[in-house]
Amino acid sequence: MDTQFALRLALTLLLGGIGAWVAMKIKIPAGVFLGPILIIGAYQVFYGPLMDRPVWLRTMVQIAVGIVLGTSFAKVHLDGLKKLIKPTVTVCALMLGGGLLIALILGITTDWDYKTVILATTPGGQGEMAILSDSVGAATEKVIILQLVRNQLVMLLMLPLARAFYSIKPSRRLQSDED
């Protein structure tokens, strides 16, 4: 391994670790994922590229994500899935339909390729969408940015709205219906 590559790899890993640590400390939602993106991205904007995306690291991350997702399943989960089939199909259809509609609008209003607009507008985990976009040849940076903005808006807007929704006391109409 040449010295220049080793130094760039070490700096990339160090910056990524610092970014994750700082983002976690200041409690940024998805900070472990978002921190390294921001720190390494900012470094490359101001100082130039650190290194090419390491294919071996991408493969290791994909394996790690597969292991984490695979170990989260258990027989108990499979038994509970039977009750969730109808709501899951409904929610998935609505989310995919909405994502495709937004992808169509984005595709018409930008010069982005179809893979990028579909993956950028499809609801999903940031990490999973980043890995998927990279593996199919979409513009990963665009996908990540749109996914991050969407996820941060969900954290900033939807969680407080959900808390407010669940803290509302039942209306008088509902109470009178029960009588």
pLDDT along the chain (179 residues), means of 10: 85 93 88 87 90 79 82 68 83 89 93 92 81 89 88 80 75 47
As a whole number, the mean pLDDT across the chain is 83
- For position 21, what pLDDT does the model report? 95
Q: Is residue 57 part of a domain?
A: no
One-letter amino acid of 170: P
Let me know whether 36 and 78 are in one domain: no
Let me know whether 23 and 47 are in one domain: yes
Query: Considering its fold, how many domains does the chain have in total?
Result: 2
- For position 14, what pLDDT does the model report? 94
- For position 19, what pLDDT does the model report? 94
167 vs 2: CA distance, rounded Å: 59
Let me know whether 17 and 78 are in one domain: no
Let me know whether 37 and 73 are in one domain: no
* Domain extent for 36: 1-52
- For position 144, what pLDDT does the model report? 87
Let me know whether 24 and 79 are in one domain: no
Let me know whether 105 and 128 are in one domain: yes
Let me know whether 24 and 88 are in one domain: no
- For position 172, what pLDDT does the model report? 47
- For position 16, what pLDDT does the model report? 93
120 vs 129: CA distance, rounded Å: 8
The single-letter DSSP state of residue 24 is H
Q: Is residue 21 part of a domain?
A: yes
113 vs 144: CA distance, rounded Å: 15
Let me know whether 106 and 73 are in one domain: yes
Let me know whether 41 and 86 are in one domain: no
168 vs 10: CA distance, rounded Å: 51
Let me know whether 150 and 118 are in one domain: yes
